[in-house]
Amino acid sequence: MILPNEPKITGKKLRRAIPLQPGERLFGIVDGAQDLELAYEAKCLYGQEITSLFAGDMAAAAADVAPYLVPIDPASGYLENWAQRWGKNAGILLTTTAELARLQAHLREIFVVQDEQGQQFFFRYYDPRVLRVYLPTCNADETSFVFGTVRRYFCEDEKTGHALNFSVKGNQLCTERTRLIDECLAATKP
């Protein structure tokens, strides 16, 4: 049984865990297949433009399940909305200094992958369960390609209440685990 006053992840805790350097901006990629409402909250409640990573006819055809790029003002309350979905694989956060059009182009480029037979697939890197497993397997060239214009990727860890912060130093992937909940209060059964 969990006590009602169990610590929770808040937007403030998320903001403190995401280091923004001068000139950097924060974005989220919301997985519409997991939580489309989170993307639309950015648009409807916070006035942010959201952009599907699908292009052309596919953008309209898959609008209900598409990944959406969302600019995030860290001072707005939107990170609180994100924090409420923490642990539900709603998407990933990232930082960049790139202009929006350049970032979109990069994210769309890594979205479509090809297998050995030339068959194209959508790569769900914006799913935290995929990103946290995939990035540590990348060689230097793959890491450079996936990061491109992105300085950091930030996603939930499989360990409850923790976040993973991925960055590149030199040609090396760096992974930092951050505890977002200081303690877990759990009652034991009598």
What digits encode the pLDDT tens for the residues 1-28? 444 555 578 888 999 999 899 999 999 9
Residue ranges with strand state E in 8-122:
25-31, 51-52, 67-72, 91-96, 112-114, 120-122
| Contacts of residue 88, Cβ cutoff 8 Å, sequence gap at least 6 | 34, 35
Give me the phi and psi of 177, to 5 degrees please: -100, 130
Supply the pTM of this predicted model.
Answer: 0.89
pLDDT digits (tens, 9 = 90+) for 74-107: 988 999 999 999 999 999 999 999 999 999 999 9
Please determine, for residue 190, whether its predicted confidence score (pLDDT) is greater than 70: no
Across residues 148-172, what is the average pLDDT?
Answer: 94
User: Where does the pLDDT of residue 115 fall: very low under 50, low under 70, confident under 90, or very high at 90 and above?
Assistant: confident
Residue with tokens 């030339």: 118
